[in-house]
């Protein structure tokens, strides 16, 4: 029997488990599956952890989620085609839920099946080697402190790529008297109440960590971009300046001449694609981009078609794109989709990579990833979902952010699965301090 190892039980690993379960429900004979996750439970980054640094076994903590994190895109853009928000919550819910609500949703459909018994928790995959016909996978059971090696025919790498921080150094850091941290270790904006905070970066973490610090009472927030500013209309108390030059004592000195006294520097400088468990010949080497190279259909490793990578792209689309990838990967593994010859693969990869190089703005990037996901969708029996509505929603969302970065999360969108419209949330995001599932769902009737 074919044996498949899935590395990671975050959203991508769970999409893979779900895809096989759906095939089994249709009466198809599925391979033997073992999923490994180094955390104690499933859900990946969405399984919030207070821990930073190492866990109790000395393993690096993969989690980068923090308290009070709300979805930064409309939930309608990430909805599962086979399990709507309406089905999970029994009613329409607002369009921008906090973490705990999304976590509950992600787990909802897999909890209904029997996939959990396929997952080995607190188990880290430490080594994967291809021996010419199959893979030797070594994994460490952290609780028992034992290592084992098993043979697998296919590997699905679903370990995420927002877990290992990229940490640059600037002059003066060694002598800085305040706190320097990466967004990977950021857990609670309350820590920065009444403090002057400098945030480095100009992407989603910089945007959201800066907003969180402002929302929870930081005295000032200064965001330093390196190439392009985010350019939003920041509220009083926040500003965006050009590139940190150095720290001198507790002063941050920027290349545009700005000087800011600061208590903390938060590095929102992104993450590394990191696969310490893969032999070099199997490793994807890429930055955070929309079409990492050497992946056929963004999924199948060009040099070894039994190695599958999920969710390695920079992400506008998330959960339903992961599903489309997982359904495609399942059908490759089950032999229902034939991978073409190497010249076809090369042509296909080059086509996407060269299109990616020409992208100039967010609307074009949304179009690119929508086209990619739509194409994948046509290749499997993943249920119908309205990608044109998702495309339109993403673009409206981008424009709402430009209009007002403080209010975009108060907007409502319609579901690409059920058509229902997200009701307005009872409290505007800016004043909603409690992000619990209970408070979020406790929508007054009316």
Ligand X SMILES: Cc1cc2nc3c(=O)[nH]c(=O)nc-3n(C[C@H](O)[C@H](O)[C@H](O)COP(=O)(O)OP(=O)(O)OC[C@H]3O[C@@H](n4cnc5c(N)ncnc54)[C@H](O)[C@@H]3O)c2cc1C
Residue spans of alpha helices (H) in 259-304: none
Q: Which of 10, 98, 298, 416 binds ligand X (CB under 6 A)?
A: 10
202 binds, among ligand NAP, ligand X, none (CB under 5 to 8 A by kind): ligand NAP
Q: How far is the CB of 27 from ligand X (least distance, A)?
A: 28
Residue spans of alpha helices (H) in 204-318: 204-215
Asked if residue 69 binds ligand NAP (CB under 6 A), the reply is yes
On whether the CB atoms of residues 103 and 47 are closer than 8 A, the answer is: yes
201 binds, among ligand NAP, ligand X, none (CB under 5 to 8 A by kind): ligand NAP
| CA neighbor of 83 nearest in space, from 13, 15, 32 | 15
Using DSSP, state whether 179 is helix, strand or coil: strand
Q: Which of 22, 315, 320, 369 binds ligand X (CB under 6 A)?
A: 315
**CA-to-CA separations, 404 to 135, 365, 391, in angstroms, rounded:** 51, 21, 20
| Closer residue to ligand X in complex, CB, 42/382 | 42
| Closer residue to ligand X in complex, CB, 30/156 | 156
Q: Which stretch, 106-114, 202-210, 258-266, 380-388, contacts ligand NAP (CB under 6 A)?
A: 202-210
Write down the residue that tokens 């199959």 correspond to: 134
| Closer residue to ligand NAP in complex, CB, 33/206 | 206
| Closer residue to ligand X in complex, CB, 94/160 | 160
| Closer residue to ligand NAP in complex, CB, 119/189 | 189
Q: What are phi and psi of 197, to 5 degrees?
A: -120, 135
Q: What is the CA radius of gyration of the chain?
A: 22
The pattern of x and - marking residues 223 through 252 that bind ligand NAP according to CB under 6 A reads: ---xx-------------------------
Asked if residue 159 binds ligand X (CB under 6 A), the reply is yes
Q: Which stretch, 146-154, 160-168, 225-233, 356-364, contacts ligand X (CB under 6 A)?
A: 160-168
Using DSSP, state whether 188 is helix, strand or coil: coil
Angle of the 362-378 helix axis to the 342-357 helix axis, nearest 10: 160
Asked if residue 115 binds ligand NAP (CB under 6 A), the reply is no
The pattern of x and - marking residues 255 through 294 that bind ligand X according to CB under 6 A reads: ----------------------x-----------------
Residue spans of alpha helices (H) in 162-288: 204-215
Write down the residue that tokens 């291809």 correspond to: 130
Using DSSP, state whether 378 is helix, strand or coil: helix
Q: Long-range contacts: 408-412, Cβ < 8 Å, 24+?
A: 409/70, 409/71, 409/96, 410/96, 411/74, 411/95, 411/96, 412/94, 412/95
Q: Which stretch, 78-86, 138-146, 194-202, 342-350, contacts ligand NAP (CB under 6 A)?
A: 194-202
| Interface with ligand X in residues 109-138 (CB under 6 A) | 124-125
277 binds, among ligand NAP, ligand X, none (CB under 5 to 8 A by kind): ligand X
CB within 8 Å of 19: residues ≥ 6 apart = 323, 326, 327, 329, 330
By the criterion CB under 6 A, which residues form the site for ligand NAP? 69, 71-72, 162, 168, 183, 200-206, 208, 226-227, 268-270, 288, 315
């Amino acid at each position: 029997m074919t044996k498949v190892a899935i590395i990671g039980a975050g959203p991508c690993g769970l999409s893979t488990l779900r895809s096989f379960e759906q095939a089994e429900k249709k009466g198809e004979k599925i391979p033997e599956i073992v999923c490994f996750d180094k955390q104690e439970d499933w859900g990946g980054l969405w399984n919030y952890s207070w821990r930073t640094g190492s866990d109790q076994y000395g393993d690096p903590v993969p989690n980068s989620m923090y308290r009070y994190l709300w979805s930064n895109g409309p939930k309608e853009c990430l909805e599962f085609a086979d399990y709507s928000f309406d089905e999970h919550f029994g009613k329409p819910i607002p369009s921008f839920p906090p973490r705990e609500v999304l976590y509950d949703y992600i787990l909802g459909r897999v909890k209904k099946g029997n996939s959990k018994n396929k997952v080995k928790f607190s188990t880290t995959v430490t080594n994967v080697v291809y021996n010419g016909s199959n893979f030797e996978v070594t994994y460490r059971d952290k609780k028992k402190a034992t290592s084992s090696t098993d043979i697998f025919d296919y590997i699905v790498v679903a370990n995420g790529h927002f877990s290992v921080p990229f940490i640059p150094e600037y002059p003066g850091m060694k002598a800085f008297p305040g706190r320097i941290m990466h967004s990977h270790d950021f857990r609670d904006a309350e820590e920065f109440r009444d403090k002057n905070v400098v945030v480095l970066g100009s992407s989603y973490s910089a945007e959201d960590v800066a907003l969180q610090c402002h929302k929870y009472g930081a005295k000032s927030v200064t965001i330093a971009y390196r190439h392009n500013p985010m350019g939003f209309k920041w509220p009083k108390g926040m500003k965006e300046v050009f590139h940190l030059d150095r720290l001198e004592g507790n002063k941050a000195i920027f290349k545009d001449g700005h000087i800011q006294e600061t208590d903390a520097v938060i590095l929102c400088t992104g993450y590394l694609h990191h696969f310490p468990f893969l032999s070099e010949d199997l490793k994807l080497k890429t930055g955070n981009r929309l079409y990492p190279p050497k992946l056929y259909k963004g999924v199948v490793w060009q040099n070894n078609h039994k190695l599958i990578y999920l969710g390695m792209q920079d992400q506008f689309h998330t959960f339903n794109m992961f599903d489309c990838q997982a359904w495609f990967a399942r059908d490759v593994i089950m032999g229902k989709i034939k991978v073409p010859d190497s010249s076809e693969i090369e042509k296909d990869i080059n086509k996407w990579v060269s299109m990616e190089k020409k992208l100039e703005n967010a609307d074009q990037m949304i179009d690119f990833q929508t086209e990619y996901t739509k194409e994948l969708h046509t290749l499997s029996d993943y249920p119908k979902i309205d990608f044109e509505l998702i495309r339109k929603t993403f673009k409206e969302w981008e424009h709402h952010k430009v209009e007002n970065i403080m209010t975009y999360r108060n907007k409502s969108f319609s579901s690409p699965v059920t058509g229902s419209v997200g009701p307005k949330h009872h409290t505007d995001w800016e004043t909603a301090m409690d992000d619990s599932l209970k408070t979020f769902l406790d929508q007054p009737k009316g």
